[in-house]
């Protein structure tokens, strides 16, 4: 019996020590442990890259949020100015400092309005075109800018361009009645009575047009 114990003691002393660490404590499969240990350097590099990417994304998101907040504050300050020159100055500053923010788009629209109100219709057209071309047609802002553009063309007596702008606007749901009414008005100015009547008729036939617009169309149609 003592010889057997001596044999087991000798075997334990001569047996190689098995490596035992955190991976073993996690009860990972042996193959997984071997893979991790053999590729430890590459795994550490990948993990560091992931951490750096997450930190970079968080920093970028924070930076963008700060830029948007500052741009919004500057836009509100600009719109609240009673002095048109000061308003224009702040809007231009916003475009220079925060050109990639959503507030920059509204700053451009406001600059277009300032030009329109000053009867600088060429400048208004230029601004509205620039904003419209940056927008998707599905954007809720698109028809509003398109309407501003059509009105700027109309006020500068650029009839063909105004008609095209109103025709495009008429394709947007909710703007057909106003667009047909405007086109009829332009045709009247051009003495194109038959085309004016056609447009007034479209206003009356269009569903969803407000009673006020239909009444205007009916009155004008009766006067032609």
Mean pLDDT of 116-123: 93
Reply yes or no on whether the pLDDT at 15 is more than 70.
no
Q: Contact 169/150 with Cβ under 8 angstroms?
A: yes
Determine the Cα–Cα distance for residues 150 and 161; give it in Å rounded to an integer. 8
| More confident of the two residues 81 and 92 | 92
Q: Tell me the C-alpha to C-alpha distance, in Å, between residue 121 and each of 14, 114, 118.
A: 97, 10, 8
Poorest-confidence range of 32-46, 114-128, 143-157? 32-46
Best CA proximity match to 109, nearest among 70, 140, 136, 148: 148
Reply yes or no on whether the pLDDT at 63 is more than 80.
no
User: What number does CATH give the domain 20-223?
Assistant: 1.25.40.10
Q: Contact 143/150 with Cβ under 8 angstroms?
A: no
Q: Contact 103/65 with Cβ under 8 angstroms?
A: no
Reply yes or no on whether the pLDDT at 91 is more than 90.
no
> In this predicted model, what pLDDT tens digit does every residue of 151-189 receive, in sequence order?
999 999 999 999 999 999 999 988 898 999 999 999 998
Reply yes or no on whether the pLDDT at 150 is more than 50.
yes
Determine the Cα–Cα distance for residues 167 and 161; give it in Å rounded to an integer. 10
* 3-state class percentages of the chain: helix first, strand second, coil last, to nearest 5: 80, 0, 20
Confidence of residue 64 (pLDDT cuts 50, 70, 90): low
Confidence of residue 135 (pLDDT cuts 50, 70, 90): confident
Determine the Cα–Cα distance for residues 109 and 107; give it in Å rounded to an integer. 5
Where helices occur in 80-210 by DSSP H, the ranges are 84-97, 102-117, 121-134, 142-155, 159-170, 176-189, 193-205
Domain boundaries in the chain? 20-223
Mean pLDDT of 196-205: 88
Determine the Cα–Cα distance for residues 157 and 177; give it in Å rounded to an integer. 21
Record the pTM: 0.69
Q: Contact 44/35 with Cβ under 8 angstroms?
A: no
């Amino acid at each position: 019996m003592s010889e057997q114990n001596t044999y087991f003691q000798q075997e334990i002393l001569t047996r190689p020590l098995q490596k035992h660490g955190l991976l073993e404590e996690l009860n990972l499969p042996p193959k997984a442990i071997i893979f991790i240990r053999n590729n430890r350097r590459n795994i550490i590099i990948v993990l560091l890259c992931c951490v750096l990417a997450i930190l970079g994304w968080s920093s970028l998101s924070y930076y963008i949020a700060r830029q948007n907040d500052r741009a919004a504050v500057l836009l509100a300050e600009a719109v609240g100015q009673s002095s048109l020159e000061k308003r224009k100055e702040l809007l231009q500053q916003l475009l220079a400092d925060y050109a990639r923010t959503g507030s920059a788009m509204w700053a451009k629209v406001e600059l277009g309005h300032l030009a329109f109100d000053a009867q600088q219709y060429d400048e208004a057209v230029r601004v509205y075109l620039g904003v419209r071309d940056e927008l998707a047609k599905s954007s809720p802002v698109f028809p509003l800018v398109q309407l501003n553009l059509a009105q700027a063309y109309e006020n500068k007596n650029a009839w063909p361009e105004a008609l095209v702008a109103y025709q495009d606007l008429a394709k947007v749901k909710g703007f057909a009645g106003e667009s047909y009414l405007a086109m009829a008005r332009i045709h009247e100015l051009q003495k194109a009575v038959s085309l004016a009547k056609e447009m007034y008729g479209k206003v009356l036939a269009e569903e969803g047009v407000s009673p006020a617009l239909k009444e205007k169309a009916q009155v004008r149609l009766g006067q032609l």
